[in-house]
Structure formats: C-alpha cells, structure tokens
Amino acid sequence: MMDIDYLRIIDLSGIAAFAVSGAVAAMRKRLDLFGIFIIAFVTAMGGGTLRDLLINQAPPVWMYDLWYGLTVGVSTTCVLFFTRYIDNFKKPLLFFDSVGLGLFTILGIEKGIALDLHPVICVTLGTVTACFGGVIRDISLRTIPVIFHQEIYASACITGGVVYFILLYSGAGETWINILSIFSVFLMRMLAVIFKLRLPNPYKFSQ
Amino acid sequence: MMDIDYLRIIDLSGIAAFAVSGAVAAMRKRLDLFGIFIIAFVTAMGGGTLRDLLINQAPPVWMYDLWYGLTVGVSTTCVLFFTRYIDNFKKPLLFFDSVGLGLFTILGIEKGIALDLHPVICVTLGTVTACFGGVIRDISLRTIPVIFHQEIYASACITGGVVYFILLYSGAGETWINILSIFSVFLMRMLAVIFKLRLPNPYKFSQ
Amino acid sequence: MMDIDYLRIIDLSGIAAFAVSGAVAAMRKRLDLFGIFIIAFVTAMGGGTLRDLLINQAPPVWMYDLWYGLTVGVSTTCVLFFTRYIDNFKKPLLFFDSVGLGLFTILGIEKGIALDLHPVICVTLGTVTACFGGVIRDISLRTIPVIFHQEIYASACITGGVVYFILLYSGAGETWINILSIFSVFLMRMLAVIFKLRLPNPYKFSQ
C-alpha cells in the first residue's frame, strides 16, 4: 500500500509558501531574475541553514536533497508567470505559510532536543528556523525585518514552543505533541493576521 | 571560603552593557518588543557567535550557559522600564562597555592562540569578538555600521591585541598580560570618547 | 628549474581586484580607514568564507595563509594613495576581476565535487564563492546587492559551471576543463560589461 508522507508534503508546501513570499518581496524591489530566485531561496532555506550553522550541523539539508531547491524554483517561476493573479492566492498562501511556520518551529525544537539543549534554547532554535529566512530576506532588500516591528510571527513560534514542552513534560504522545504545537503556531498566526494583532507598544512607557 | 569569580562578573557586565546599547538602538528605530530583545541579544552575543562559526567551534557558549541569555533579558527589561532615565547611566554604561570590549578582545585572542593561529589572525578574532555584535546590530537596523565610519572602537581592540602579544613575547605573566591588555583597550576607548578622537580622514588625499 | 605557480598568481590577483572593488565602494560611502580595509577584506574573502561555513570546512583558508590578508592590505593601501588615478586602471581591474570570478567559481565547484555533492549544488557553491563577497559588501554598505538587479555576474558563474560539468562528463582532461570553464566565465563577464548586457526584465509580464 502506498504510504503518503504527510510530513514531507507539509514541509515542501511550507517551503513553497516561504519562497513565494520572498519572490514577491524581491519583485516589489524590482530585482532581476537572478535576484528574485536568490531571495526566494534565501527566504525559504535561510532559517534552517542558519540553525544548522549554529549547531554545527552543516552542510544543510538542501545540499543533499534537491527537492528543496526544486520546490523553490518551481514556486518562484509560478510567481513570475502569474504575478497578476497572486492576490487571488492570498488565502492559500497564508494557510501554507502558517502551517510551514509551525512545522519549521517544531523541526528546529527537535534538533535542539537531539543535542540535549535546554528547552529555552530549543525554542530559540525553532524560532530561528521558522523566522530567520524572512529576516535575511528583509536585510538583503534593505528593509528593517518586519518581524522586528510589525507582525506577530516570532511570538507565534515561541507560543508553539511553549505548548510543545508543556505537552512533552505532561507525557503526551509524540504525534499529539507535534499536531497540537504546530496547530497552536498556526492558530496564533492566523488570529494575528485576521485581527491585525501586534505586540504591545513599548513606547507609551517611555518619554 | 567563597571565591568570587571576577572574570565572570566582568564578562556578564560587558554582555549587559552591549545588550543595553542594542536595546537603545532598537528603540530609536521603534522596533516592537520582540525586535528590541533580538537586537539586544545579537549585539551582545553576535561577535562571539560569529567567531565560533569562523573557527568551527559552534554551538556557541550561550546555547549551554543560560546566564548569557538571562543577562541580556534582564538588562533589556531594565532599558524598557527606565528609558526615561537611561541618560543618567551613560557613564557606568560606557565604563562597562569599554571593560567588556577589552575582555572580549582578549577572549577572542586566546581562542586563536589555542588553535595555533598567527598573532595577526588572533588579533582579528579578538576584534571580531568584540566588535561584530555591533556591526550585526547596525546592519539589521539598516544603518552603516558605526565602527566603519565614526568611532574608534576596533582600533582600541587592535591596540589591545598588539599590547597582548608584546607582553606575551617579552615573557610577562598571564595575569599581567590580561590586565594590561584589557586596560589598554579600555583606556583607548575612554580617551577616544572623551576627546572625540577619530581615525585620520583618508579623503583629504583624494580629489 | 623555477616552477612558477600560475594558479597562485591568478588567485591573488583576483583577490586584489575584489579588494579594490570593495575599497572603492567603501570610499564612495565615506567610511573611515578601518571601514575601508574591512569592506575590502570582506569583499575579497567573504564568498569563500561563507562557502566554507556552509560545507563545514571552517576555519577558512585566510586564517592559515597570511598572503590573502596581505594582498588585501596592500591593494587597499594602493587604492587609498592613488584614488585620483583609479579610473586609469579600470581595464586591468576588470580583467583581473573577471579572471578571479572564473577561478573562484571553479574552486567552489571543486570543493563541492570533493564532498560528492550534486552538480547543481556544486555550481551553487561556485557561484557563492565568486559572488557573495560582493553581496556582503553591498549589504554592509546599505545598498541592495548589485548582482540582484543590475549586473550579469552570477549568470557568468553559472554558465562557467555548466561548461565545467559538460566538459567533465564528456571526458575532457582536467587542465582543459579548468581553462575553458574559467575562460567562459571571463568571456561572459567581459561581453556583459562591454555590451551592457542585463538579465531579461521580468516585469513586462506583470502589470
């Protein structure tokens, strides 16, 4: 019987959604073809690559598994051909982006656990995995990273990480831990976008 | 008898001073809470992390020793609550910043010596350790790094590195080498701030 | 009989040309002496260093072989003293820059082959080696990297990489593979500069 690898599908769908966000941002800055593909790739793979460098597990997985590069290439090509219609895909893109955000957070956390790191550091690694592709994208495009001042993004990852460890310590099964923590990242990100939530403004305390 | 670990105290005070400089810079750019903490962390830990990546000694120390992250967290929280009064702390902050600069330079140099690298490369590693957190901070905040065009900062580290190797080759004891080279970084940084010293302007030669 | 190490000469000439491009860009942004040297160094060594980090072969070669740092230092000093005349050297600089681009591409590809990576990844590593020093230079100087939107640069490296693998699989000798693939990078870069070629504009398809 064919066994469908759901995790793989979620993983590559998340990569594709991240690549699309990179390609769209690059086109807004009028980069050329090469620039668009590079920014798409960096947005999709940058977080995981930085994590692997930090925990000394380079070379990163995309050097051995060409499906990652292929996914980025195909989804960026789609953006190039269907730019005009991209607004129609906002909702599915947000869906896959948010699921990807959850999955990448959990993948980062599990890498940290495998190295016996403290839960706080594991959650940090999960957040780096999920968010730093976007940070590198924004720095390359000469904008202050959006996750630093505009969007609830990292907070969703941190919440998911906390859920992960609460479930882990309360003895939940692996499948439930994964599903529920990915879902809590997803939910928080969706709620943040729908209700335009932001982090509390720290500037009312000052001046 | 209780033995006070002076090195540890200097180390964490330097980290705190670096984190404060990051938090203040992030607030000037109106980042949100998450952005402020991240920039504070990157300013404090970025130089050492980059050094560890370059000499293949990842994962960096902050992944095993949570005191670093805690120090960054507490000092950034203080900045958030006492922004109004931060100007009153300019002098102690400059003091700890300069002592930290000296200590981090020497820590970087000693990592290089342990790997049998050439003195020039050791001093480079010391300077990277002490200065590149600030470079990453500035690049993330979309400013040209101040140490590239405004302040005597790296030059103080390089001077301290030269003092280190002169003392080492002249057979001085370890304690004296450390104290004197940290002090020379400290002194040069303080003199530079007090007398507003800058590197010679290379542009009078041109055009 | 004296045996001249041609590869070494090409390597260091390429490094020098890259350093000059970094120093000139830094001076345009009015950086101070330290900033100019750092940007020159990062432009020249950044691509190879990033490649070594990605394939887990840090520390990079410039930590063991001081000729690299020395070459950067001497060529940057020349830029500082002869800024007025630098336009007279445009042609030799372009020549060495293009030869260096070819050589660095091939060096990156060979590192990938030694690790048994897929040809696509090897060409990626070659392109990273040759181009990412310039990317780091531009990001540090707060400009959107030129190779992302203006110049045929990476495309020349990718072309050279394709030539490399076509020759390799058709059983050509090592010397011919190297010479012809370096030459094809060189040729494409020169043609691009002379005829002001750019990548096709993807924006006519959209809006």
Q: What is the pLDDT of residues A33-63, one digit of tens each?
A: 888 999 999 999 999 999 999 999 989 999 9
Token pair in block for residue B166:
């002169």
Q: What percent of chain C has pLDDT over 70?
A: 95
Angle at alpha carbon of residue B137, lines to C20 and C125, rounded to 5°: 50
- Minimal Cβ distance to C53: which of B53, B200, B205: B53
Q: How far apart are CA C111 and CA C106, in angstroms?
A: 9
Decide if B192 contacts B156 (C-beta within 8 A). yes
- Minimal Cβ distance to A56: which of B26, B59, B64: B59
Residue C172 pLDDT more than 80?
A: yes
Q: Is B84 in the A-facing interface, judged by CB distances under 8 Å?
A: yes
Per-residue pLDDT band for C152 (boundaries 50, 70, 90) equals confident
What is chain A's mean pLDDT, rounded?
Answer: 88
Residue B119 pLDDT more than 90?
A: yes
Token pair in block for residue A195:
């209700």
Tell which C residues from 9 to 48 touch B, by Cβ distance under 8 Å.
Answer: 26-27, 29-36, 38-39
Question: Residues of A with CB below 8 A from C205's CB?
Answer: 80-81, 83
Question: Residues of B with CB below 8 A from A145's CB?
Answer: 35, 140
Q: How far apart are CA B169 and CA B165, in angstroms?
A: 6
Amino acid letter, residue B59: P
Higher per-residue confidence, C166 vs A87 = C166
Q: Is C149 in the A-facing interface, judged by CB distances under 8 Å?
A: yes
pLDDT at B1: 42
- How close A5 comes to chain B (CA, Å)? 31
- How close B60 comes to chain C (CA, Å)? 14
For an interface test with A, which of B34, B78, B138 has the most A Cβ atoms less than 10 Å from its Cβ? B34
Per-residue pLDDT band for B117 (boundaries 50, 70, 90) equals very high
In the block, residue with structure tokens 């105290």: B9
Q: Is B135 in the C-facing interface, judged by CB distances under 8 Å?
A: yes
CA B131 to chain centre: 5
pLDDT at C107: 92
Token pair in block for residue B15:
């980290």
Terminal alpha carbon distance of chain B: 66
Give the residue-averaged pLDDT of B70-97.
86
Residue of C nearest to A40 (CA): C148
Residue C207 pLDDT more than 50?
A: no
Domain map (residue ranges) of chain A: 6-145
Give the residue-averaged pLDDT of C151-173.
91
Q: pTM for the full model? A: 0.90
C-alpha separations of B183 from B15, B69, B108, B153, B159 in Å: 17, 26, 16, 14, 11
What is chain B's mean pLDDT, rounded?
Answer: 88
pLDDT at B28: 86
pLDDT at C66: 94
Other chains touching A, judged by 3 or more CB pairs under 8 Å: B, C
What was the ipTM of the complex prediction? 0.86
Residue A204 pLDDT more than 90?
A: no
- Minimal Cβ distance to B66: which of A120, A143, A207: A120
Q: How far apart are CA C77 and CA A175, in angstroms?
A: 61
- How close C113 comes to chain A (CA, Å)? 12
Helical residues (DSSP H) of C115-173, grouped into ranges: 119-140, 154-169
- How close B142 comes to chain C (CA, Å)? 7
Token pair in block for residue C53:
């980090």
